[in-house]
Amino acid sequence: MAKAKKHVASLPRRNPELWLLMYEVEDERFQQIVGDFASLIRRSEQACEKAAKQGNSDYADAVAETESDYLEELVGASFLVLQAKIRRVAKAAERLATSMNEQHGLMIKGLDRQGIFARGGNYRKTGHSRIELIWAVGNYYKHRDEWDPEVWKNRSTGAQGRDPHRQSRGTRQTVEKVGIVQFSTGNMRRAYEFFGIKPYSKCEKLAEKVQAWAKKVYQRAEKECRRA
């Protein structure tokens, strides 16, 4: 935290919203939490490796099935932690942009929700940024059991009236680009693989990418604020 205090002291005291954004960006506790998940995931990987060496395929399969269910939940929970970091940084950046507009009449480009989430550009030709995809996977994990079967179908061409499944369909269409499919029991692990996390216990790498994104958001905000 000493680093954060030193940085705060160098910033204009007239801009508390920028301080708050800086704090949210430099708070790396989410990486520690993901590191804890990595340790738990590694235990599951080791259990499967140990079972495979026993020479009993039935036993190995049984262990793999049990650990796979456990891994799905661990991986899903890790996306919620990443989502929490994204949410905190995005809200602080949006609050800063609103304040700069109201107090100084300065429109800060790129600090609206769309611009913040899109930072980093098109990831793996999906049409979405890495942050947008992580966010969507987190939403899928939270709400997948609540989805009506219709969510997995595209709305009929020419359909009229309000679509009660519009938001859920949008999430589904996004996570399908990550490899998530209906009825699969390995969707969360498949998402890790899409982001290059293999073995799954290397999930701290994804947290590092989120932290790098957060720092870029702050750098853009600080640069814009110096114009005021």
Per-position pLDDT tens, the chain of length 228 = 444 444 434 444 568 899 999 999 999 999 999 999 999 999 999 999 999 999 999 999 999 999 999 999 999 999 999 999 999 999 999 999 998 888 877 788 888 999 999 999 999 999 999 999 999 999 999 999 999 999 999 988 777 788 899 999 999 999 999 999 999 999 999 999 999 999 999 999 999 999 999 999 999 998 888 776
Identify whether 160 is part of a domain: no
Query: How would you class 4 by CB atoms within 10 Å of its CB: exposed for 0-12, middle for 13-18, buried for 19 or more?
Result: middle
Identify whether 8 is part of a domain: no
> Cis omega (within 30 of 0) on the bond before 16?
no
Identify whether 6 is part of a domain: no
Identify whether 31 is part of a domain: yes
The structural domain count of the chain equals 1
pTM score, whole prediction: 0.90
- Which residue in the block uniquely carries the two structure tokens 């036993």? 59
Provide the residue range defining the domain that includes 199.
13-152+165-225
Identify whether 159 is part of a domain: no
3-state secondary structure 141-181: HHHHHHCCHHHHCCCCCCCCCCCCCHHHHHHHHHHHHHCCC
Q: Is the dihedral of CA 37, 43, 47, 53 positive or negative?
A: positive
